[in-house]
Structure 1
Amino acid sequence: MSNTNNAKESQSSQNSQNSSDSHNTTDDATDNTTATKRPGPMEVLRQARGQLAELTGMEAESVSSFEQTEEGWALEVEVLELERVPDTMSLMASYQVQLDPDGQLTGYRRVRRYERGRADAHRPGGR
């Protein structure tokens, strides 16, 4: 009879263990979901500016375009490339910046340089 009682106790112990394991698995899945929460637009902007500054050594002055894409995020960032006196003669540059969905920079390139005081040329038919 003691073998029967030992078997029942052992089975009961295993069931408790399995129940506890499945509960822990559920908690782990919940924690993973929270850990993979994607950053919002403002956080992406901050990350993009910081990462671009770290890579180029130039601080972003403004973000002139920002959109979410299928691959992540695309931005156009204006930076001061060469400071001159007067300030209107300083050289500015626009950089296209690509980020993954988590806000990590995946690429950038300079698309134009211009003097701070110069407006874009007027294009016929455009505004």
Structure 2
Amino acid sequence: MAPPRHDERKNDQKGQSTRALTLAQVARTAMGDFVELTGLDPVAMTGARPDGDGWSLLVDVTELARIPATSSVMATYRVDVDSSGHVISYERLRRFSRNATDLT
């Protein structure tokens, strides 16, 4: 079954047609909420997938800045948001050095 399209028209509570937000719009709202909640500035959004009526996003942040920057400690957070982009929950999934690469 194909994932739901988030750019299709939907009906609001009054039965009026509304346009769902794009992923880019959802991400902007989500990143604003994430910064407000954690005080961490996102470096990159490295993943996004539809999750029910919302989205599950992967966000990389610098948790500990060091000199040189390649030795900084980074972290990946999973940020779950509703269909309007507001954060429902978040959790840190992993920490790593900026110069580390994943084994494939």
TM over 0.5: yes
Match of 1:86 in 2: 68
Name whichever structure is richer in strand by fraction: 2
TM-score normalised to the size of structure 2?
0.79
Equivalent residue runs for 1:50-69 within 5 Å: 50-69=32-51
Name whichever structure is richer in helix by fraction: 1
Q: Which has the larger Rg?
A: 1
| Same amino acid, percent of matched pairs | 35
Deviation above 2 Å: which 4+ runs of structure 1? none
* 1:38 is the counterpart of 2:20: yes
Match of 2:96 in 1: 114
| CA displacement, residues 45-102 of structure 1 (integer Å, 9 cap, x when unaligned) | 1111111111110110101101112141000000011100000000100000001112
Letter in 1 for 2:29: Q
Match of 2:77 in 1: 95
TM-score normalised to the size of structure 1?
0.66
Other structure's SS at 1:113 match? strand
